[in-house]
Structure 1
Amino acid sequence: MAIMITDECINCGACEPECPNTAIYEGGIEWTWAGGTSLEQVELEDGSSVDANAPQAPLSDEFYYIVSGKCTECMGFHEEPQCAAVCPVDCCVPDPDYVEAEEELLAKKAWMHNE
């Protein structure tokens, strides 16, 4: 499952540089699929396609947030999610809305990094 940041976040920013997929963004900041990946085009769940460099609306205006579509729980990079490891208030937790098996997370990593 992807990791999420709860509203206990103190906006310290410790998690953001630790993410190997650049899936973590500061509240209010637009994100892109391309950031930290080798993606050029992304096919969305509804079948539409988007330029991976096109800015996307922030998922939170108040706290750091994780784009679940880019989160692999650091699978294939580290033994554990690095955001959770460095978070001083333990607000990086599993997201029950995005449950994925290890194989799915590794496939997502391979897709994002052209492996």
Structure 2
Amino acid sequence: MALLISDECINCDVCEPECPNGAISQGEEIYIINPSLCTECVGHHDKPQCMEVCPVDCISKDPGVVEDQDSLYRKYLKLTR
């Protein structure tokens, strides 16, 4: 699954620089995650770094974008070519 930032986001700016794939950007009101770039940090880290640094725990798995570990790893390989 890709990750999703909820409307509880306080725009603290700590998640965006932690994303190794550049999947996080400022949306109209809160930060957003581009599911085509999000690998949940597979290939880079053991845990999603945005979730690790979020002070309000507003980042969760996106039920609308279901991916398994293999899919996330293939996406990582494609993004890092």
Q: What TM-score does the superposition give when structure 2 sets the normalisation length? A: 0.98
Q: State the partner residue of 2:4.
A: 4
Q: State the partner residue of 1:16.
A: 16
Q: State the partner residue of 1:86.
A: 53
Q: How does 1:28-67 map to 2 (within 5 A)?
A: 61-67=28-34
Equivalenced residues, count: 81
2:3 pairs with 1:74? no
Q: Which runs of 5+ in 1 are unaligned?
A: 28-60
Q: How does 1:98-113 map to 2 (within 5 A)?
A: 98-113=65-80
Give the letter for the 1:83 counterpart.
C
More helix by share: 2
The runs of 4+ residues in structure 1 deviating greater than 4 Å are none
- What is the Cα deviation at residue 99 of structure 1? 1.0
Q: What TM-score does the superposition give when structure 1 sets the normalisation length? A: 0.69
Partners of 1:79 and 1:110 in 2: how far apart? 16
Q: State the partner residue of 1:26.
A: 26
Give the letter for the 1:101 counterpart.
D
- What is the Cα deviation at residue 97 of structure 1? 0.4
- What is the Cα deviation at residue 26 of structure 1? 1.1
Partners of 1:23 and 1:63 in 2: how far apart? 14
Partners of 1:67 and 1:3 in 2: how far apart? 9
Q: Which runs of 5+ in 2 are unaligned?
A: none
1:31-54 alpha-carbon deviations (Å, 9 max, x no partner): xxxxxxxxxxxxxxxxxxxxxxxx
SS in 1 for 2:30: coil
Q: Cα RMSD (Å) of the superposition? A: 0.5
